[in-house]
Chain A
Amino acid sequence: MSDYAYIVLIPLLPLASFVLLGLFGRKYFTKSAGIIGTMALLASTIIALMAAHQYFFVDGKVAGAYHQVIAFKYTWLAFSPGVSIDMGIVIDPISVMMLVVVSFVSLMVHMFSLGYMKGEERFATYYAYLGLFTFSMLGLVLSVNIFQVYLFWELVGVSSFLLIGYYYEKPTAVAASKKAFIVTRFADLGFLIGILILGFYSGTLDISTLIHKLTSVQSPEYIAITTAGFLGASALTWALVLVFIGGAGKSAMFPLHIWLPDAMEGPTPVSALIHAATMVVAGVYLVARLFPVFSMDDTALHVVTYVGAFSALLAAVIACTQTDIKRVLAFSTMSQIGYMMFALGVSKQVGEQGLGYMASMFHLFTHAFFKSLLFLCAGAVIHLVHSNEIKDMGGLRKLMPVTHIAFLVACLAIAGVPPFAGFFSKEEILLAAFNENKLIYAVALFTAALTAFYMFRLYFSIFWSKESAHHDTHHEGTVSMKIPLIILAACTIGVGFIPFAKLVTADGAALETHIDILFSLAPVGLTLIAILIAARLYKQQNGGPQKIADSLGGFYRVVSRKFYMDELYLFITKKIIFPLIGKPIAWIDRNIVDGCMNALASITVKISGGIKGMQSGKVQGYALYFFGGVTLLAILFIYVWK
């Protein structure tokens, strides 16, 4: 087995770029920051591709199946005997795949930003943040230890907080970054408790040891964690559901998705990086990483399945009504990640039944390309028209030919039209769903049609519809912005033909798959019909869409307000938590606590004949509380607890 230690360079190069630009960027590299960051990422990407080649085609396969290799492991801290926190690098099919995806998309974003962010005052800072984010994401992907995952998980959160809030003069951006941070924190809470439970029962934090212990039915750890229960579910179920909540927060699954649309306030290339290919799929990756354990527990898998499917459907419905180009893309991301989640949910660990796992990873892979392409195209469009609203666009196909073609390719891919990348991965997902759960299959099919509809609504509204109101003097953007679009468009066409089932599977062994034309008939047919409807409605400007919206009336309004989800959260926090918890506390503070003090004070004052002056009288109250506390504890432990 050959040495993979050089892989450590892949995350370290972006880190170096972050340190260099973060410390000295604003002084010395105001102009060259972009080039430095891009070069670092270029090197990372090349190394990642080399590693992928070495693993998949040279020496990763042992006895017909891909093996896990621990390239490097360093015991960073021995917490207690048995439980140690390691930093290391794990090499297996999914981590290698993610390495390629993350470094490649990050490279494209770095390159695109050269033109897009040119002239920004904090140009160097922007690239420093990009470097930090890429480093954290790569570190997360390579983790050998569940604590390492958590550490990088949080770092990803911090750096995305910085990136979303990059335009910190804009109050909406600040609010959005805060929302993203706090909402994902709530989810991370679940993750943290999940880790603690898993760590407690299995006695280790090392992922492969943990999987080993919790997947052998006879092991004492497995017996302990499945027999211990809490509120009717086993500790294993709880741990996995909690871990999944953590993943759902990062991956914007219902009901923790509310931060994603708002996070679109960040610079558009950032959305292409964070909200298309990397951070949002971290949740999927987490479930995939612990999949052997998940596959031991049906309840947890059902949670994954239904949350995923519901999110996919909900987001697709909402996306049909949004008028902000980036928000449409945000909801489509949520919808596609829903696909990946339920594909994992319907999967099993071994053999043919592992189709869902493979399909999920495949879709993650192809989605990374076409979704980041869509975001970058959106960035180019926004760069030109200086607006996010669809109504300000239209007829742009002549002004921006490259963007136009790229966007079309990406739309065809996400809609699942053969032979574009999305078709292959979506087919596998649908097939996996069809084999396991017909209800999920129906939802997935309907969602696929909706996806085609809203994506082409977007496409026609931007590039066709009315004649462009913009003059020819506007340019499509610099060469450095066009190149990534072209490269990503080429990938979007090409990556579907990668024999993914032979490379990335749940158990490492190759899976036989083939495209069944009869099976494909339904989804592709529905997709084409949806595209035709979108073309009919949006290719020329007409009253059609408005009529439909009117005829749907209340329903349309509910959907376009995202099912009033934000209002619901606001209602709960503003109307319930603040007045019902916050205000009473303030009231107790002001009236009861102070009141008690004052009452006590006045009594004491009367008794002792008026000690005034410096003493506010409160101290007696403090003493009373003190004594009350002692008494309470005494009663509790002498009489109640006994």
Chain B
Amino acid sequence: MLMDFFILLKQELVIVAIIFLLLFINLGKDRSNESLLPLINVVLLLNVLLGFFGSKEGSLFGEMFHTGKLIILEKNILNLATWIISLLSFSWLRTHKHVIEFYILLLTALLGMFFMISSGNLLVLYLGLEMSTIPIAAAANFDLAKRKSSEAAMKMIISSAFSSALVLLGISWIYGVSGSLDFSVILLQGPDSPFRIFAFILLVSGFAFKMSAVPFHLWTADVYEGAPVSVTAYLSVVSKASVVFVILAFLYNAGKAFADTWYHILIVLSILSIIIGNLFALRQNNFKRFLAFSSIAQVGFIFIGIAGSSQVSSAAVVYFVLVYVFSNLAAFGVVALVSAVSGKENISDYKAFYTTNPLLSWVLTIAMFSLAGVPPTAGFFGKFFLLMAGAAKGNYWLIGIAALNMVVSFYYYLRVVKTIFMEENSQPIEKLAIPGASRLALYICLAGMLIAGLASCVYDYIYSISFGL
């Protein structure tokens, strides 16, 4: 029994252990960042590796906490993404005074996400949601010298407080109607009254806020631009991915009775997100803002996949998220390196980037291709599978709009590639020294973008552990 407890909770327990470890280190005598950072990175690597051992299906705390193969895989993806971000932040954190606090915040948020993904009860879900938001808001403030960074933190905390309030309202209404917070109980209630539907919409809007789907996206661009690049990467990849996983689990399990309603909600959100995300991404010059808006459009594509509501869609979504982690982190990695050294964050600064930094240029180019969905990068397969899954519902207007927007997105992703390779610049960004850690992270992302697409076993495995509505 106790053994079960440890095995089922192993990923959470490891994170807690790491947080305590960091706290103890912090209490002791001061250590230099040069010795601290490698240690932390190794610990995080161990955390990733540990996730692959000893998986077991089951639930704890009276059905409040669930775990299974798919959930473990999802947590592993998040662990991996966190590790990669940590590697990429190396050059930024090297000179930072509060390294340990930074990691504690990120890991606490990660822990919150884990509970959120595993939740079998709305209360746990809510706690996880909060726990995964507030620390990141604090982390967004970590460019201590920059005003914009503090502003980003403020905006995030206020916006998310507002969203939390509505989510709580939704939860309490659901409780009022069904007398329970357990997924398995709310599951039985049909969508017969507007009251229920409204409560449900409140809940979904909370998720949509975290995923920055239109029209709940407005905080995204400001926060992405103001926060340090590492935190932006964390927000746009780890945080977003975790909510995708949650929404998938929640809708496919607890939302069965509402299937018709949320299908249409997702369609509306998806069309809005894709179109508005794309149109705004077209005009951005700040690289982080650009990635912010383009990731809003990506979320729209994810919604199409989720709306398919079959085993295939669940697999396609998890697969897409995996690919998205690699592609987006590769892009953010390059941006982080450039920003840490030269402070430049505009796309126009990247003119003739290829002449000085060929390796980084190639990584960025492949990332852009993968995000745009050009074969043979993994992004192509990811998008294609999402559309296939969505097409199973036979809603061709939606697929048509999505495919049309894929072409639009081609235009702006290609614009970045063109800037890097083909435009002239008398003062290109100087040649950057890439720290070993960042180099490793970029290679991992590169391998991910190229291999995850061509190695069919990745998708096959995800499919084998997925489930439909």
Contacts and interface: CB of A to CB of B under 8 A. Distances in A.
- Is chain B found bound to chain A in the same assembly? yes
B407 A185 contact: yes
Interface residues of A, number: 54
A79 B222 CA distance: 39
Contact of B312 (A79, A155, A582): A79
Interface string B175-219: 000000000000000000010011001101100110000111011
A586 interface: yes
Interface in A363-395: none
Nearest to A238: B396
B162 A626 contact: yes
A196 interface: yes
Interface stretch (B92-100, B132-140, B246-254, B275-283): B275-283
Given A79-B385, A155-B375, A193-B403, A634 B218 contact: no
B209 A182 contact: no
A564 interface: no
A636 B404 CA distance: 25
Contact of B216 (A77, A181, A586, A626): A626
A199 B264 contact: no
B216 A629 contact: yes
A622 interface: yes
A350 interface: no
A189 B422 contact: no
A618 B388 contact: no
Contacts of B265: 633, 637
A57 interface: no
A637 B388 contact: no
A549 B174 CA distance: 80
Contacts of B388: 79, 83, 196, 199
Contacts of B215: 625-626, 628-629, 632
A77 B459 contact: yes
Given A168-B422, A185-B407, A626 B159 contact: yes
Given A182-B410, A193-B399, A614-B147, A622 B218 contact: yes
Contact of A168 (B376, B400, B421): B421
Nearest to B169: A630
Contacts of B155: 618-619, 622
Contacts of A197: 391, 396
A230 B400 CA distance: 13
B280 A589 contact: yes
Given A154-B374, A189-B404, A80 B280 contact: no
Nearest to A622: B218
B56 interface: no
Nearest to B458: A77
The interface centre, meaning the residue of A178, A193, A230, A630 with most chain B CB atoms within 10 A of its CB, is A630
B391 A196 contact: yes
Contacts of B418: 174, 178
Contacts of A623: 158-159, 162
Given A189-B406, A230-B396, A630-B205, A619 B385 contact: no
A154 B205 contact: no
B340 interface: no
A427 to B, nearest CB: 40
Interface in A163-205: 165, 168, 174, 178, 181-182, 185-186, 189, 192-193, 196-197, 199-200
A372 B147 CA distance: 62
A585 B279 contact: yes
A519 interface: no
Given A174-B418, A623-B159, A614 B154 contact: yes
A332 B362 CA distance: 37
B394 interface: yes
Contacts of A151: 375-376, 380
Nearest to A191: B403
Specify the main secondary structure of chain A where it touches its partner.
helix
Contact of B197 (A178, A196, A589, A634): A634
B80 to A, nearest CB: 22
Nearest to B272: A629
Contacts of A641: 261, 264
B268 interface: yes
A154 B375 contact: yes
Interface in B239-287: 261, 264-265, 268, 279-280, 282-283
B261 A619 contact: no
Given A80-B311, A189-B407, A621-B218, A626 B374 contact: no
B422 A77 contact: no
A582 B280 CA distance: 9
A192 B403 contact: yes
A517 interface: no
A158 interface: yes
A637 B261 contact: yes
B394 A200 contact: yes
Given A77-B460, A192-B387, A622-B159, A182 B411 contact: yes
Nearest to B454: A76
Contacts of A83: 388
A185 B410 CA distance: 8
B205 to A, nearest CB: 5
A635 B147 CA distance: 40
Contacts of B209: 626
B46 interface: no
A323 interface: no
A473 interface: no
Interface in A593-642: 614-616, 618-619, 621-623, 625-630, 632-634, 636-638, 641
A182 B414 CA distance: 9
Contacts of B202: 630
A358 B312 CA distance: 41
B414 to A, nearest CB: 7
B151 interface: yes
Nearest to A76: B456
A233 to B, nearest CB: 13
Interface in B382-408: 384-385, 387-388, 391-392, 394, 396, 399-400, 403-404, 406-407
A626 B205 contact: yes
B391 A629 contact: no
A158 B392 contact: no
B463 interface: yes
27 contacts: A78-B460, A79-B385, A79-B463, A80-B311, A151-B375, A151-B376, A155-B376, A168-B422, A181-B410, A189-B407, A192-B403, A193-B400, A193-B403, A196-B387, A196-B399, A199-B391, A585-B283, A589-B280, A614-B150, A619-B154, A619-B159, A622-B159, A626-B163, A626-B166, A632-B215, A633-B204, A637-B264
Interface of B: 147, 150-151, 154-155, 158-159, 162-163, 166, 194, 197-198, 201-202, 204-205, 208-209, 214-216, 218-219, 222, 261, 264-265, 268, 279-280, 282-283, 310-312, 374-376, 380, 384-385, 387-388, 391-392, 394, 396, 399-400, 403-404, 406-407, 410-411, 414, 418, 421-422, 456, 459-460, 463
Closest 9 CB pairs of A and B: A629-B215, A77-B456, A622-B218, A638-B194, A196-B391, A80-B312, A154-B375, A623-B162, A189-B403
Given A154-B380, A168-B422, 6 more contacts: A174-B422, A181-B410, A189-B404, A616-B151, A623-B162, A630-B205
